């Protein structure tokens, strides 16, 4: 009888040990399915949370932000001007990855764009004469064209490199594009450069064919 009880207790201990090992393995597997990405590229810098559903499908949630500007690099005919081209791009995105192979990923989804705008500013440097009247830069005024894009943009691209780090860290690449709307262009002028709405419409029409915003970025992946 005592041997039978000892045998039953031994079986219970073995079952408990096996169950604990299975739970531990499950936790480890679950941990392998999540990673944090720090990204840098054409859409600025940002971060993603990445969750792998299985060996073929993963989800990404995150955001990025970029801001840049250049001064006095635009040539406007014989018009000598102070000028500035500036832009901002902020994204909050949700993406799905299809992984047919270890090193190739098809990425699709959409982004909310809380900041997607560009501005071109002009201000004359010199005095100009019109029909015998000389006007100073202060009398001529300034002109700015502001371009704003809609707030939702679909995304399609390809990922190159292992999506899931083999160890704790790896680097991979994303190449793709957002499909963006035609921007709404607004003209803001002062003094003699007011009433440029017709030119804003011309710029808006000229930009109708520019609907793709390229994306090229490096992803630094940290598995946990």
pLDDT for the residue 11: 43
Give tens-digit pLDDT for 132-177. Answer: 899 999 999 999 999 999 999 999 999 999 988 888 999 999 999 9
User: Quick one: pLDDT band at residue 80, thresholds 50, 70, 90?
Assistant: confident
The token pair that represents 119 in the structure block:
């501005």
pTM of the model: 0.79
Mean pLDDT of the chain: 86
Count Cα atoms within 13 angstroms, Cβ side, for 77. Answer: 3
Q: What is the 3-state secondary structure (H, E, C) of the chain?
A: CHHHHHHHHHHHHHHHHHHHHHHHHHHHHHHHCEEEEEEEECCEEEEEEEEECCCCEEEEEEEEEEEEEEECCCCECCECEEEEEEEEEEEEEEEEEEEEECCEEEEEEEEEEEEEEEEEEEEECCCEEECCEEECHHHHCCEEEEEECCCEEEEEEEEECCCCCCCCEEEEEEEEEEECCCCEEEEEECHHHCCCHHHHHHHHHHCCCCCEEEEEEEEEEEEC
22 has a pLDDT exceeding 70: no
Regarding the domain delimited by 33-223, which CATH topology (the fold level of the hierarchy) does it fall under?
A: Porin (2.40.160)
Proportion of the chain above pLDDT 70, given as a percent:
85
Q: How confident is the model at residue 28 (pLDDT cuts 50, 70, 90)?
A: very low
Q: Which of 25-39, 57-71, 100-114, 190-204 has the lowest mean pLDDT?
A: 25-39
Per-residue pLDDT at 130: 79
């Amino acid at each position: 009888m005592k041997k039978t009880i000892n045998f039953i207790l031994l079986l219970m201990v073995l079952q408990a040990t096996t169950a604990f090992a299975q739970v531990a393995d499950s936790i480890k597997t679950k941990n392998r399915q999540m990673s944090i990405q720090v990204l840098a590229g054409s859409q600025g810098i940002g971060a993603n949370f990445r969750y792998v559903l299985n060996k073929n499908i993963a989800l990404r949630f995150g955001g990025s932000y970029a801001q840049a500007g250049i001064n006095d690099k635009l040539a406007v005919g014989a018009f000598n001007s102070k000028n500035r081209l500036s832009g901002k791009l902020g994204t909050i995105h949700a993406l799905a990855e299809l992984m047919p192979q270890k090193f190739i990923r098809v990425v699709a989804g959409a982004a909310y764009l809380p900041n997607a705008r560009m501005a071109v500013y002009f201000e004359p440097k010199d005095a100009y004469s019109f029909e015998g009247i000389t006007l100073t830069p202060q009398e001529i005024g300034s002109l700015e064209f502001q371009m704003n894009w809609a707030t939702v943009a679909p995304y399609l691209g390809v990922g190159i490199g292992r999506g899931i780090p083999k160890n704790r860290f790896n680097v991979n690449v994303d190449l793709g594009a957002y499909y963006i709307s035609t921007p709404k262009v607004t003209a803001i002028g002062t003094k003699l450069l007011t009433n440029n709405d017709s030119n804003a419409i011309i710029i808006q029409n000229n930009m109708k064919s520019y609907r793709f915003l390229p994306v090229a970025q490096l992803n630094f992946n940290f598995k946990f």
